[in-house]
Amino acid sequence: LMKRGILIFAYSHPFYGMYAANLAASIKFTCPDIPITLLHDYKAIGHFNAIHRSLFNEFKEIPKDCFYTNGIFQPYKAKLYAYELSPYDETLFIDADVIMFPLGRNLNNIFEELKDVDFTIQNRSNYDASTDIKPDMWADLQEIKKEYSVTDGQFYYISSEFIYFKKTEQNEKLFKDAISIFDNFRITYKRFGGGIPDELPLSIAMLL
């Protein structure tokens, strides 16, 4: 394992490979020494030339099993394998369709700010599961509580464009639980891009 690094996914279409290259270039502008790993399915990097490739420190193909549940293609499931596929002790996962502006936050500084944190993720809002509120999100909180036998705790309405995590036993379990929930989904949900949004099983795993 390497100490700290950036993880980016790009798959399904060359556009995502080019998005990832733009993101990597914007990161290298202010943090030239930070390692970046691109997880891909070859289709996404089909338009890469030597300059695009030079922006990344490592290329890793995403195993095909990461995209399927019961034989059905689920494109967003792959992101739940970020923990398993990351080569870093401390990982900052950023969605490919993001740009880091040079006058914004330096990613090395973000790593320093998070050095005492094991896990954090972009979050829209959070809800007390012991109340009867029904937030507007991917699924009904009351159904989640019923199906997963939850009576209290915090439900986080997360957004997975930005995830920071360390290699820990707790985080390994969190991501494995999210994959298990994804593969055995028991609740009604809002479809996203024709499939299950990756944030929902991860939110449920965080609640549990």
At 151, which amino acid appears?
T
Kindly tell me if the per-residue pLDDT of 192 is higher than 90: no
134-187 pLDDT, tens digit each: 666 788 888 888 999 998 898 898 999 999 999 999 999 999 999 999 999 888
pLDDT tens figures, 52-75: 999 999 999 999 999 999 899 998
Task: Kindly report, residue by residue over 93-141, the tens digit of the pLDDT.
Answer: 999 999 998 787 789 999 999 999 999 999 988 888 888 676 667 888 8
Give the predicted TM-score (pTM) of the model: 0.93
Give the position of tokens 């996404």.
44
Provide the percentage of residues in the chain whose pLDDT is more than 90: 74
